[in-house]
Amino acid sequence: MKDKDNFLGKNWLLDTAEGIKLYRDVAVPLRREVGIIDTHTHHNLRQIVENNPFSNIWRAEVLETREEYKNCDHYIIQLAAKFPGFSQALARDPKISDYDKWVALCKVFPNLEGNHVHQWMHLDLKRIFGIEELLSVESADRIWEKANDRLKQKDMLPQAILRKVRAKVIFTTDDPADDLIYHKLANSIESITFLPTFRPDAYCNIFEDNWKLNVKRICELTEQDTTLKGLIKALRIRHAYFAERGAKASDHGLLEPYGLKIEQKRAEKIFQNAYDKGEKYSLRSNETKEFISYMMHKFCEMNHEKGMVTQIHYGTIRNVNEYLFKNWGTDVGGDASAESVNIV
């Protein structure tokens, strides 16, 4: 890196006097006084509640495979895996030590320069660990040792780190069937509020192989029939459950912001064909667009009734990498951007 002194420095990315003044006089004081209100995260709340120390820098920053704390920065892994010497298989192989995985990552990490993943990782190292050295094969051992020594300190426990960055309100992302027990336990965490977010994609995506199983599961949980009316009632029950426990938003991952006006009879027919007759629909089929449009109208109604916000993530095709999906399941970095979507 040519300009090492300025990278992540005091005025990094601020190239005008006006920008510097605005950041220093507005953004910095606001963060100090108000703190961080993060309305979309994928935190493992159990890990935060139990507040156990991170095992090492690899598990803290990249990939935690233990089921109870399972978490993954798939941005790092997916991008690093594009370069020789690092791969998805290596990152997830239980026979390879965390240290060896870390060294392999450091070898390819300089290739990520210019990407936000490169910046995020070094921001964490600087702000959280106090390490200003750049990741490379030469620095891998030094950073491994320094970071792991820091992780042994009490101020590096999960809750302490969140307080250090002045986190005040954190929204988690949760399946409607979740009992939210860890949100209840999190009420005892001083100075930070954790709120659930209602994420019902699993019950709308009729193109997914496990959609029928998901519908059956939530209908059984709420003692409803496995019909469209039963599914809506089940989701309404769980939506109320979330609202009673502080939820302020629902969250939806959509290929496009579906908004078709679909009659109930049409939605029921699609549901019956998919659930009772086993008919298969693709991501881009008209039936998928119609069904999700109908469901989104219902979710917006529920949110309006409870004073909740509807968050939409659109324009991403999920799990397009069959190798990743077959070996490690959903949400492990096998996503791709869709074509441009006109939402106006």
| Cα gap 297→295, rounded to integer Å | 5
Using N-to-C axis directions, what is the helix angle for 264-275 and 286-306, rounded to 10°? 120
Residue 192: predicted pLDDT: 98
Range list of H helices, the chain: 17-22, 28-34, 45-50, 57-61, 74-80, 88-92, 98-108, 116-127, 140-150, 158-164, 181-186, 211-221, 228-244, 264-275, 286-306, 322-328
Residue 258: predicted pLDDT: 87
| Cα gap 267→276, rounded to integer Å | 14
pTM score, two decimals? 0.90
Position 111, amino acid: N
Residue 226 DSSP one-character state: S
Partners of 249 in beta bridges: 309
Partners of 64 in beta bridges: 71
Residue of 167, 143, 147 lying closest to 53 (CA atoms): 147
| Cα gap 182→195, rounded to integer Å | 10
| Cα gap 162→114, rounded to integer Å | 27
Query: Which domains, and CATH codes, for the chain?
Result: 27-40+159-196 (no CATH), 53-156 (1.10.2020.10), 201-337 (3.20.20.140)
Q: Exposure pattern of 300-323 as b/e (b: 16+ CB <10 Å)?
A: eebbeebebeebeeebeebbebee
Q: What is the mean pLDDT for each group of 10 consecutive residues in the chain (344 residues)?
A: 65 93 94 94 95 97 87 84 94 96 98 94 96 97 99 98 96 98 97 98 96 98 98 99 99 90 98 97 95 98 98 80 69 65 56
Residue 215: predicted pLDDT: 99
Residue 294: predicted pLDDT: 98
Residue 280: predicted pLDDT: 95
Three-state DSSP class for 208?
Answer: coil
